[in-house]
């Protein structure tokens, strides 16, 4: 598992009339955490894009537990609990205030694409190499796909497909 923390001080312009961080700003906080985590690993978004590979967001989820407010010093924790697989990588996030209270949780599912076509491409080998030391052999097995050589039981067809 890979983990990276950054700190962000909430600016007045990021708050709404109630004094809470406006919900739309959390996607930007997640992006800052991703960019800085990659930078710490020696992975440059700028170089990735120069090589013709982009990473658009395929899915964004945010769960708000408590509000963040103006001038709070937030810790944005990025977690990679599983290695990138195929063309995608799942980033998870936790945001804490200075009292270490969990304020927000979320994730983004990023898809590697060729910038000229927008079509998915395999994760660049350089990124896989940078992340490999953070995962054990067990982590490298897909949680969805069966292990190679596994004997799968016959499953009944879903009711909707039965005659």
Q: Which residues are annotated as catalytic?
A: 16
Tell me the C-alpha to C-alpha distance, in Å, between residue 88 and each of 23, 46, 154: 25, 19, 29
C-alpha span between 74 and 14 (Å, rounded): 13
- DSSP annotation string for 26-83: HHHHHHHHHHHHHHHHT--HHHHHHTTEE--EEEEEEEESS--BTT-EEEEEEEE-S-
Closest listed residue to residue 109, CA positions, set 34, 42, 8: 34
**Dihedral of alpha carbons 119, 121, 123, 126, sign:** negative
Tell me the C-alpha to C-alpha distance, in Å, between residue 41 and each of 10, 29, 133, 134, 153: 26, 19, 11, 11, 41
């Amino acid at each position: 598992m890979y983990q990276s923390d950054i700190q962000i001080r909430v600016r007045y312009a990021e708050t709404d009339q109630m004094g809470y961080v406006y919900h739309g700003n959390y996607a930007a906080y997640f992006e800052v955490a991703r960019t800085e985590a990659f930078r710490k690993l020696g992975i440059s978004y700028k170089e990735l894009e120069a090589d013709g590979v982009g990473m658009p967001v395929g899915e964004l989820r945010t769960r708000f537990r408590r509000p963040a407010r103006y001038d709070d010093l937030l810790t944005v924790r990025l977690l990679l609990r599983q290695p990138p697989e195929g063309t995608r990588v799942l980033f998870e996030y936790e945001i804490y205030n200075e009292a270490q209270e969990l304020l927000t949780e979320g994730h983004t599912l990023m898809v590697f694409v060729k910038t000229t076509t927008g079509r998915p491409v395999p994760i660049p080998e350089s990124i896989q190499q940078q992340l490999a030391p953070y995962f054990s052999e067990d982590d490298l097995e897909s949680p969805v796909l069966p292990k190679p050589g596994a004997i799968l039981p016959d499953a009944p067809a879903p009711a909707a497909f039965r005659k």
